[in-house]
Amino acid sequence: MNALAWNRFQFGFTITYHYLFPQLTMGLALLILLFKLIALKTKNTYYNDAARFWGRLFGINFAIGVVTGIPMEFQFGTNWARFSSFAGGVVGNTLAMEGMFAFFAESAFLGLFLFGERRFGNKINLLAAFMVFFGSWLSGYFIIATNAFMQHPVGYRLASDGRLELVDFWAFVLNPWAIYEYLHNMCASVVTASFAVAAVGALYLLLGRHQEYGKVFLKMGVVAGLVSSLLQVFPTGDAQGKMLARYQPPALAAMEGAFKTSAHAPLVIIGQPNERTGQIENPITVPDVLSFLAYGSTRAEVRGLDSFPPDQRPDNAIMAYYAYHIMVGLGTIFIALMGLSAFLLWKGRLYTSRALLWVLLCSFPFPYIATTMGWVAAEMGRQPWVVYGLQRTAHATSPLLSGGDVAFSTLGFMGLYLVIGIVFLYLFCRELAHGPSPLTATGEAVVPESGTAVTI
């Protein structure tokens, strides 16, 4: 592997590992806020205890996310210096705002939420929960806006020195690509959090521990999971697909396995792409559907990979195809699973359906896989560009780094992240073992089964 390949691998590894944590953080922020709102309206203390319990898990997840995200800030300078020099005048704005505004708001109010409930009361605690939600989702938007510029650059001009300059801040921040990508991404985060909450609820019911809390977790996880899974398909996924068709037709062709330009283009459900023959082998397709989904007409022409020069096509169309289809396939399964769970919840049979509880318990890793595959599809589809149409990935690296240098530091990151992962699992599982508990007048959370107390 040359230096470019190692740089891409290292950044891909670090950002994939890092994003395991923010996706749960952003999704949990919404669910914790919902727990608090329901508790305030219904006076049901189980929901307030649930918010406190998931707030502690949120804090662990948030801290690990911060630690794993730090290396990427340095990689912009150490590994991608030419990209930073070329586009830093634009993307540096949103990266700075994410750190100065959103991150600090989230961090400050997280402390108030976790440690200020007894001192300031439920309403201030609800305000803190809202600000944690607002800060985490605002942080997500600034990061998405940065990526959206790389996917669909707007609001810039090319200066005389060959660098990009920001000329329209609002066009940049309100990039249509950013809005649709953000909505799709945040729904995915809620899916991840919903499956995690439902899985913990299923675990407690299967173990016969914290059963009332388990029911609360299941109800929230299933309802939020069904709604967010449906929103992933329409309107957010549909809008994102139409943006691809309009602005990145080579990426759409790669993801859909469209090797040849055609009208009445079929949607490939299953099949193995063969780049050598330019065909999908053993396909199961639905006629006309791709044309309709991409352009709103079954007669519309969908450009295939054959209509683009080789140097304008994604350099790994096969990976983009499989990543996209894994994401879509898992998303379809999520709707079916949460739909069935919601039906049994409505019928009052979910809490006693041990088979489905086991399925919900074992399903929590799959939203992580689906989200990761979605990002792989998006980033592989953008290739060979780092800023679409303006700078190629091959021209974005730091010129003085050798492949060996990057390989060595990659091994270091792997070892460090292994240790961080072990610490995270220990802390997370310890909180799961303690479980949720009511708050006493002294500010202690009592675990009913053991009678012990955990100071918060």
User: 240 is written with which tokens?
Assistant: 């994102």
Structure pTM? 0.94
Q: What is the pLDDT of residue 104?
A: 87
Q: Closest Cα partner for 142 from 92, 189, 191?
A: 92
Identify the band that residue 99 occupies on the pLDDT scale cut at 50, 70 and 90.
Answer: confident
Q: What percent of the chain has pLDDT over 70?
A: 96
Q: How far is it, in rounded angstroms, from Cα 149 to Cα 155? A: 9
Cβ of 313: how many Cβ atoms within 10 Å? Answer: 19
Q: Closest Cα partner for 252 from 286, 287, 297, 301?
A: 301
Checking if the pLDDT of 451 tops 70, the result is no
Q: What is the pLDDT of residue 440?
A: 59
Q: What is the pLDDT of residues 292-303, one digit of tens each?
A: 999 999 999 999
Contact 304, 262 (CB under 8 A): yes
| Mean pLDDT of the 125-149 span | 97
Q: What is the pLDDT of residue 454?
A: 34
Contact 445, 438 (CB under 8 A): yes
Arithmetic mean of pLDDT over the chain:
94
Amino acid letter, 51: A
Q: Closest Cα partner for 393 from 152, 164, 82?
A: 82
Checking if the pLDDT of 452 tops 80, the result is no
Contact 184, 105 (CB under 8 A): no
Q: What is the pLDDT of residues 334-356, one digit of tens each?
A: 999 999 999 999 999 999 999 99
Q: What is the pLDDT of residue 455?
A: 32
Q: Closest Cα partner for 342 from 214, 224, 233, 228?
A: 224
Q: How far is it, in rounded angstroms, from Cα 387 to Cα 393? A: 8
| Mean pLDDT of the 211-218 span | 97
Q: How far is it, in rounded angstroms, from Cα 449 to Cα 428? A: 19
Q: What is the pLDDT of residue 25?
A: 97
Checking if the pLDDT of 456 tops 80, the result is no
Position of tokens 């979910």?
Answer: 350
Domain ranges for the chain, please list them.
3-255+315-434
Q: What is the pLDDT of residues 167-196, one digit of tens each?
A: 999 999 999 999 999 999 999 999 999 999
Q: Closest Cα partner for 240 from 324, 299, 316, 159?
A: 324
Q: What is the pLDDT of residue 442?
A: 47
Q: How far is it, in rounded angstroms, from Cα 119 to Cα 294? A: 54
Q: Which long-range contacts (CB under 8 A, 24 or more apart) does 345-351 make?
A: 345/218, 345/219, 345/222, 345/223, 350/218, 350/222, 351/205, 351/214, 351/215, 351/218
Q: What is the pLDDT of residues 364-384, one digit of tens each?
A: 999 999 999 999 999 999 999
Q: What is the pLDDT of residues 409-449, one digit of tens each?
A: 999 999 999 999 999 999 999 999 999 988 654 444 444 44
Identify the band that residue 96 occupies on the pLDDT scale cut at 50, 70 and 90.
Answer: very high
| Mean pLDDT of the 217-231 span | 98
